Structure 1
Amino acid sequence: MSTVLFASVVRVRDGLPLSASTDYEQDKGLQESKKYLKNLSKKLSQFPDRCMLKAGQYNINFTSSLGVSYMMVCTESYPNVLAFCFLDELQREFIVSYDTKRINSAVRPYSFIEFDNFIQKTKQRYNSPRSLSTKINLADMQTEIKLRPPYQLTAADVGTVNGFSHPSPTKYKGIAPNQMLEPVTLAGIVSCVLSLLCGGLNLIRGVHAIESILQNEDEDFNYVIAFFLGTAACLYQCYLFVYCTVWRNFKSFLAFALICLSNMYLYELRNVWQILFHVTVGAFITLQVKLRQPQGKAPDYNV
């Protein structure tokens, strides 16, 4: 029998469950699928905004938008178009019911447990397809799925399940950058401008260092390398702030570490205030990269 068995609403940035349907099923396979779903919820920001995973005789489908992901477990025979129509309906209602500020400030699991009532009612409707014919437009969703099919995940993409580690996915290098980032803040713009300024200062000093070497062979060429490495790190920080890439936070931290190391090497050519300025700007933009999280594709409900 084709049915929706479980559904939940999860915050993308940290995997915090916001609401979920009541689960009466004790089937071992379903419980195993829910473990996959739980592990997926912890790394949603790494995945495209519409995905599906085959877990035994069950399918896990999810769609993410505006920092929230809508996830479900259904039988493998349940039509994909109905599954994503179901998730789309949950998404529409949740966006209307709760504002972004309240969602972002939630600290306890299942802070929106009252939404469970809507999930249950919608699940019942979608488990009785005859009642759906006049209430949803399957043609629109079918067209959208053909144009932008859900990404097929594998068990290895989930990570650790039941204590066993799977290889980390590397296939998202071409996908993650297409994800949208949260809107730019004033602090983020300031951090980018300052980082570009630091990169420019490093570049100018590097060019002058090259001229000095050409005039005086006793000059240390390592200073030139340090200046240009600092320039590259500052520019790369700006790139990470603007674009969504795999391991953004880790790359940004490495760039910050490179800024610190290059300035430590240049301590003889710079005073304490100059070094402090470069390091502070590097720390500032690293923080802004971390704060600007990926988000799902915004729904075009009014188009």
Structure 2
Amino acid sequence: MVKLTIVGRVRDALPLAKGTRYLNDEEDDDDLFSQRKQQAEFILNEISTGSLPSSKMTIRLHSHSFNYIVEDGVCFITLCESSYPTRLAFHFLQDLQKELLGKLDRTLIHKVSKPYTFLKMEGMIGNIRKRYIDTRTQSNLSKLNADRGQEPKVETDYMYAIVERRHRLEALKKKALMTSSRVVTASDSPLLELIALKWMPITLVIFGAVVLVWSNLILSIL
């Protein structure tokens, strides 16, 4: 079943709306729900940075899967049990995309700046979700039968692999930043600049004196 749904803006990874919390009794605790929500927001951020495909994908997570689609700069993410048919999960996302983008002002979608601004979306998300709770309804069976024999062209990855890649990338960025900070030129260092200003006149005087003595010595020989 569909357990969590988040809608977000791809441009800056801003979450726009979320569905009502749906967890079964064994998972009915605030910590787990917050963790799943953070993971969905992490996926949105990875899409925004270009680290994940900007079309659609399935991401495996233990006994669950995140599925998402992107349309017109808006990402629709849902968390389902792994046993839930992937085709139905994407049908749910497509229905959600058509409903929300059809009713909401797209100009407003691209203007808002606060996370989860569209509180009214929660009711729309809940209504669409109800259609997909029971996979054995005539409507859902028809969708599955229509897709039978057609494997959906959806990339699949694992959450742990995505997180690991992000950690490696951040470590490389940190290393590069530390390396560049060690390379300090005289113009970049106030201390070196102060030393140069202090000793430059003395150096010029000494150099001039040496040149003068050398010139007098050459003239005396001649």
TM-score, length basis structure 1: 0.47
Note the alpha carbon deviations across 1:104-156, whole angstroms, 9 max, x for none.
1011111211011011122222112344517974456567x63x511112225
User: Is the Cα contact below 8 Å between 1:157 and 1:167 reproduced in 2?
Assistant: no
User: Is the Cα contact below 8 Å between 1:4 and 1:74 reproduced in 2?
Assistant: yes
Q: Flag structure 1 segments of 5+ consecutive residues without an equivalent.
A: 169-303
Corresponding residue of 1:167: 168
Q: Which amino acid aligns with 1:166?
A: H
SS of structure 2 residue aligned to 1:70: strand
Note the alpha carbon deviations across 1:227-266, whole angstroms, 9 max, x for none.
xxxxxxxxxxxxxxxxxxxxxxxxxxxxxxxxxxxxxxxx
- CA distance 1:124–1:134, shift in 2 (3 Å): closer
Q: Which amino acid aligns with 2:58?
A: M
Corresponding residue of 1:149: 153
- CA distance 1:139–1:104, shift in 2 (3 Å): farther
Note the alpha carbon deviations across 1:79-105, whole angstroms, 9 max, x for none.
001000000000000110113211110
* Paired residues for 1:63-212 under 5 Å: 63-131=69-137, 133=139, 137-138=143-144, 146=151, 149-156=153-160, 158-159=162-163, 166-168=167-169
Residue 33 of structure 1 pairs with residue 36 of structure 2: yes
Corresponding residue of 1:18: 16
Note the alpha carbon deviations across 1:48-78, whole angstroms, 9 max, x for none.
2110111111110000010000000010100
Corresponding residue of 1:54: 60
Corresponding residue of 2:6: 8
- CA distance 1:112–1:57, shift in 2 (3 Å): same
TM-score, length basis structure 2: 0.63
User: Is the Cα contact below 8 Å between 1:11 and 1:69 reproduced in 2?
Assistant: yes
Give the aligned length.
Answer: 162
User: Is the Cα contact below 8 Å between 1:7 and 1:21 reproduced in 2?
Assistant: yes
Residue 43 of structure 1 pairs with residue 46 of structure 2: yes
Q: Which amino acid aligns with 1:85?
A: H
Aligned residues with identical type, % of pairs: 26
- CA distance 1:12–1:125, shift in 2 (3 Å): same
Q: Which amino acid aligns with 1:21?
A: G
Q: Flag structure 2 segments of 5+ consecutive residues without an equivalent.
A: 170-222
RMSD value, Cα: 2.8
Q: Which amino acid aligns with 1:126?
A: Y
Query: Between Structure 1 and Structure 2, which shows a larger proportion of strand residues?
Result: 2
Shift, 1:14, TM fit: 1.2
Note the alpha carbon deviations across 1:143-171, whole angstroms, 9 max, x for none.
7x63x5111122255337xxx95334xxx
Quote the Cα distance in structure 1 between the aligned partners of 2:114 and 2:85.
34
User: Is the Cα contact below 8 Å between 1:30 and 1:58 reproduced in 2?
Assistant: no
**Structure showing greater Rg:** 2
User: Is the Cα contact below 8 Å between 2:64 and 2:79 reproduced in 1?
Assistant: yes
Quote the Cα distance in structure 2 between the aligned partners of 1:38 and 1:9.
9
